[in-house]
Structure 1
Amino acid sequence: MKKYLFFSASLLLSSMFFYSCSEDDPVNGTARLEVRLTDDPGDYEEVNIDIVDIQINVSDDDSKGWESLPNVRKGIYNLLDLVNDKDTLLVNADIPAGRVQQIRLILGPNNTLKLNGGAIEPLQTPSAQQSGLKLNIHQSVSAGILYTLVMDFDAARSIVTTGNGKYILKPVIRTVLQEAGGSISGVVTPYNFRTAVFAIQGTDTVAGTSTDLMGNYLIRGLSAGTYTVGYAPASDNFNSQNKSGVIVTTGSVTKLDTVALQPR
Structure 2
Amino acid sequence: MKIIQLFPAVCAGLLGLAGCAKNDEAANSARLEVRLMDAPGDFQQVVLDVQQIAVNQKCGKEEGGWKTLNFQPQAINVLAYVNGKSSLLVSDDFAPGDLKEIRLILGPGSYVLGRDEQRYPLRTPSGATSGVKLKLEKATLRQHVTFQLLLDFDVAKSIVQRGGWKAGDNKEERYLLKPVVRVVAQDLRCGLRGTVTPANAQPQILAIRSTILGPDTLSTAADASGMYQLSGLAAGTYRVEFFPSTTAPAGEPAYHPAASASIVVVNGQVTTLDPVKLN
**2:126 and 2:184 mapped to 1: Cα distance?**
22
Whether 1:25 aligns to 2:33 is: no
Deviation at 1:73, TM superposition (A): 3.8
Q: In the alignment, what sits opposite 2:161?
A: 161
**2:102 and 2:64 mapped to 1: Cα distance?**
12
Q: Is the 8 A contact 1:103 1:135 kept in 2?
A: yes
**1:127 and 1:153 mapped to 2: Cα distance?**
19
Q: Secondary structure at the match of 1:157?
A: helix
Task: Give matches, 1:229-244, under 5 Å.
Answer: none
**1:56 and 1:42 mapped to 2: Cα distance?**
28
**Cα gap change, 1:36 to 1:73, in 2 (>3 Å):** farther
Q: In the alignment, what sits opposite 1:106?
A: 105
Q: Relative to total residues, which structure has the larger helix share, 1 or 2?
A: 1
Q: In the alignment, what sits opposite 1:115?
A: 114
Whether 1:148 aligns to 2:148 is: yes
**2:58 and 2:42 mapped to 1: Cα distance?**
39
- Residue by residue over 1:206-235, the C-alpha shift from the partner in whole angstroms, topping out at 9 and shown as x without a partner, is xxxxxxxxxxxxxxxxxxxxxxxxxxxxxx
- Structure 1 runs (4+) deviating above 4 angstroms are 60-63
TM-score by length of 1: 0.55
Q: In the alignment, what sits opposite 2:129?
A: 130
**2:123 and 2:26 mapped to 1: Cα distance?**
40
Cα RMSD (Å) of the superposition? 2.5
Q: Is the 8 A contact 2:45 2:79 kept in 1?
A: yes
Deviation at 1:93, TM superposition (A): 1.4
Percent same amino acid among aligned pairs? 39
Q: In the alignment, what sits opposite 2:75?
A: 76
Question: In structure 2, what residue type is equivalent to 1:101?
Answer: K
Question: In structure 2, what residue type is equivalent to 1:80?
Answer: L
Please list every run of 5 or more consecutive structure 2 residues that lacks an aligned counterpart in the other structure.
1-23, 166-173, 190-267, 269-279
Q: Which has the larger radius of gyration?
A: 1
**1:24 and 1:82 mapped to 2: Cα distance?**
33
Question: In structure 2, what residue type is equivalent to 1:94?
Answer: D
Whether 1:48 aligns to 2:47 is: yes
**1:173 and 1:119 mapped to 2: Cα distance?**
25
Deviation at 1:65, TM superposition (A): 1.1
- Residue by residue over 1:156-213, the C-alpha shift from the partner in whole angstroms, topping out at 9 and shown as x without a partner, is 10011112532000000001121599xxxxxxxxxxxxxxxxxxxxxxxxxxxxxxxx
Q: Is the 8 A contact 1:147 1:180 kept in 2?
A: no
Q: Is the 8 A contact 2:158 2:178 kept in 1?
A: yes
